Amino acid sequence: MPRFEAFTGLRYSLSHVRSLEEVICPPYDVISDPERIALEGRSPYNVVRLELPHGEADRYVGARRLLDAWRDGGIMQRDSQPAFYGYRMSYRDPLGVPRQTVGVIGALGLEEPGRGILPHEETTPKAKTDRLELIRATRSNLSPIWVLSPTAGLSALLEAPEHPAEHARDAEGVTHELWPITAEASVRAISEAVGANPVLVADGHHRYETALTFQEELRSGSSPQGGEGYVMALAVELADSQLNVQAIHRLIVGLPAGFDIVAGLSEWFDLVPAGPVDRSILARMEESATMGVLTEESAWLARPTERTLEAAAYDLDSSRLDVALSSLPEHTVVYQHGWDDAAAAVATGAASAAVLLRPATVEQISAVSRGASRMPPKTTFFWPKPRTGMVIRELAC
């Protein structure tokens, strides 16, 4: 079973920065270069300067020096005692309904996948050198990975104070709040709840794998630093009330000139005209249990045939589509979040077609995890994303 423990966090001193909104940033892998520049312009202390360092010959050493300077100058201060950190994100879902995701940030024990830590989907190849060099230099977890706990009642242990001192609103309109939890009984109850069942890695598979690599490096060396057996993680209860799971759509690129993709997909799907391509297409897909196929000339609702359902490895749109795509001529699949961005790619000719998927449900995610297997890559997009900089975990603390 997973180990989940309190740690002594490093946080921004609100007496030295005007507001957290000026100094936090999104996860590193969703920040474009223009956004990085804009974040740096908000404050000389924006955490993006650590998360995506640049400008020096050795940018990772630069990040370490900057973190040291912020600690020494009081910009960031270490808490006085170990704590779990309650974390709440308040937002409106795609239908405009007010929602909240409440979780807890702690130190998750590193284990090889399958021993209490379960990856929930296959990952795509991605260079891990950058994150490994950063953790080597800073000896810190700058941002949490995100794990899902099937333990019922975890959310009930995370009651927030009425007005948490740590709060910020991001550019997407999401309010992020954080508060330390130090009461002995609460710390013990949270640790036991998360440790009661295997957890699923929802976001941060590559950072988890990097943490495992770094752990092995230190343990094989002559002087372990301490703290390398854990990684900072946000644990959220695997429950509909706590999660907003969105789909990641597929762009089909590079098909041979003249190939009729609608005819190719019709071997696997029953296709009917979809009507207007606007936000309502997602509701029509849900109502009819179909996917959406967009080409430059037309739009279709695609219902999988019995043959497709039988061939698919999982009860998921991503798995059913994989069956059909395997029969097409050579092409490239590009993953795209946002139905409107997918439609725009087709309209501008950047893609031959787009296939809009329905999001996986919490029940489907749970069922796959119980089978100790993984969904196809890029099946789920958990939103909103926790912000980097709300709390940092130093490996030596």
Q: Is it the case that residue 117 has pLDDT exceeding 90? A: no
Is 363 inside any structural domain? no
Q: How far apart are CA 157 and CA 106, in angstroms?
A: 14
Q: Going edge to edge, which strands form the sheet with 299-304?
A: 269-273, 299-304, 291-294, 353-356, 249-253, 332-336
Q: How far apart are CA 355 and CA 309, in angstroms?
A: 17
Type and span of the H or E element at 204: none
Q: Which residue has the higher pLDDT, 371 or 253?
A: 253
Q: Is it the case that residue 397 has pLDDT exceeding 60? A: no
Residues making up the chain, counted from first to last: 397
Question: Which range (121-130, 242-251, 260-269) has the least confidence?
Answer: 121-130
Is 367 inside any structural domain? no
The confidence band for 112, taking pLDDT boundaries of 50, 70 and 90, is confident
Amino acid in the structure at residue 386: P
Residue with tokens 């949490």: 144
Other beta carbons within 10 angstroms of residue 374's beta carbon come to: 20
Instruction: Count CA within 13 A, CB hemisphere, residue 165.
Output: 9
* Whether residue 266 sits in one domain with residue 222: no
* Whether residue 181 sits in one domain with residue 296: no
Q: What is the pLDDT of residues 119-167, one digit of tens each?
A: 766 656 566 789 999 999 999 999 999 999 999 999 999 988 888 889 9
Q: Is it the case that residue 329 has pLDDT exceeding 90? A: yes
Cβ atoms of 50 and 63 within 8 Å: the answer is yes
Q: How far apart are CA 122 and CA 27, in angstroms?
A: 20
Arithmetic mean of pLDDT, 54-75: 94
Amino acid in the structure at residue 164: P
The confidence band for 116, taking pLDDT boundaries of 50, 70 and 90, is confident
Q: State the chain's maximal CA–CA distance in angstroms.
A: 67
Is 181 inside any structural domain? yes
Q: Is it the case that residue 225 has pLDDT exceeding 60? A: no
Range of the domain at 341: 249-356
Total-model pTM: 0.88
Q: What is the pLDDT of residues 163-217, one digit of tens each?
A: 888 999 999 999 999 999 999 999 999 999 999 999 998 888 889 989 999 998 8
Is 366 inside any structural domain? no
Cβ atoms of 182 and 83 within 8 Å: the answer is yes
Number of domains in the chain: 2
Q: Going edge to edge, which strands form the sheet with 76-78?
A: 76-78, 9-12, 392-394, 140-141
Sequence-ordered strand ranges (E) for 238-306: 245-247, 249-253, 269-273, 291-294, 299-304
* Whether residue 266 sits in one domain with residue 165: no
Cβ atoms of 91 and 175 within 8 Å: the answer is yes
